[in-house]
Amino acid sequence: MDSIMVTGGRPLEGEIPISGAKNACLTLMPAALLSSDPLTLTNAPRLSDIRTMAQLLESLGCEVAALQDRRVLAIGAEHIASHVAHYDIVRKMRASILVLGPLLAREGRAVVSLPGGCAIGARPVDLHLTALEALGAQLDLREGYVHAQAPVGGLKGGRVTFPLVSVGATENVLMAATLARGTTVIANAAREPEIVDLARCLKAMGAQIEGEGTPTITVQGVDRLHGATYRVVADRIELGTYMLAPAIAGGSVELLGGTRELVSAFADKLEATGVEVADTARGVRVTRGNAALRPVDVRTAPFPGFPTDLQAQMMAALTLADGVSVLEETIFENRFMHAPELLRMGAHIDVHGGIATVTGVDKLRGAPVMATDLRASVSLILAGLAAEGETTVARVYHLDRGYERLEEKLGGCGARIERVAA
């Protein structure tokens, strides 16, 4: 397995282009199953998860072409050859469950393996299933697979009320509802930018949707959707991650294509540490002077709150703050697995359940560490930017699922970083 080696102590100066959003693209790709016409996605990120989703769609009979240096994905689903999403592919990535709603809506049946992904908690799919049942689906879980069947005449509109906010379940039922007969109301819907992006793409394909970005989404089902060309929104988690790079290492970096509105709650917390965040004509500029970071308290929450996917990276920064910070993780259990690795670098972190207390230290020390999940892996790399000496991050296959050309992007701003082949 490859490793990433970082030698810290150098401030960052320059610019970093922000790629298309992984989580948005992984949702838009299954939307192609809703139409027999092609769906073309531009600004696609070049990531292993995107390739995995392409493999899954191809296994169902889709034709997927990666064009223009893999930044454009042309997906054709004229003929669905299989209704089974097999474990061998689905186990690699939780987003695979998002083929369930589109297959069920268009074909009336689907058999989808329960998904895999990062080991950051149970993340059950029960909210997906109960939402689809509200549209008339008959569901059965057997031998690790969801067997789904639509009623005669197809799915029908209904009211879905989520007991708690779920991005994936909102996406799944939103796609299914576009072809359901009648009106579907989704209450306590997720409000993330990826939800808005999906709704806009579906509307470009002919769907009738209102209320995306609010807690209540209303969908009027249509008989069919047509093809479209759609640009994937910028990746807000990549944006937030690279905003933290100069905050940790010092310096000033402009994030091209990013907007503050994508990460407003995060940007507010970052400014509270004493880091300057400024809009520019091309994106967002983050600057840190010589003063130590100020401690802040962070509580993760569904959008528009502080993103759980930036909690690990923020913790890495707060290990160097002048005081005590408290981070509360409310979305996923087991999402402090990066903390023991940061301790190896000299951090002071005390974890009790879903709360981590971080007491800032004067400096971190480079050490060999191991990534446990996608966001944990990049948090260790960020810590390495400020640490004395050399940090080697093992098991970076996690990293390749969510960050495109990380070494090149950080290296272009002066970071001493390289990939070491196994």
Q: DSSP labels for 40-69?
A: EEES----HHHHHHHHHHHHTT-EEEEETT
Residue 71, Cβ density class (10 Å: 0-12 exposed, 13-18 middle, ≥19 buried): middle
Q: Is 309 annotated as a binding residue?
A: yes
Q: How many CB atoms lie within 10 A of CB 69?
A: 7
Q: Is 282 annotated as a binding residue?
A: no
How far apart, in whole angstroms, are the C-alpha atoms of residue 208 and residue 178?
7
Q: Is 125 annotated as a binding residue?
A: yes
Name the nearest CA neighbour of 120 among 408, 393, 371, 298. 371
- Tokens (6 digits) for 135: 């549209």
Cβ neighbours of 280 (radius 10 Å): 12
Instruction: State yes or no: 37 annotated in a binding site.
Output: no
Type of residue found at 135:
L
The one catalytic residue in 25, 118, 201, 413 is 118
Cβ-based burial of 414 (10 A; exposed 0-12, middle 13-18, buried ≥19)? middle
> Rounded to the nearest 5 degrees, what angle is found at the Cα of 314, between the Cα atoms of 308 and 320?
160
Specify whether 118 is catalytic. Answer: yes
> Annotation-wise, does 123 bind a ligand?
yes
**Pairwise CA distance, residues 309 & 238, whole Å:** 10
User: Within 10 Å of residue 124's Cβ, how many Cβ atoms?
Assistant: 10
Three-state DSSP state, 333? coil
23 labelled ligand-binding: yes
Kindly list the catalytic residues: 118
- Feature table: binding site: 22-23, 94, 123-127, 309, 331
- Could you list the residues known to form a binding site for phosphoenolpyruvate, using ranges: 22-23
Known binding-site residues for UDP-N-acetyl-alpha-D-glucosamine equal 94, 123-127, 309, 331
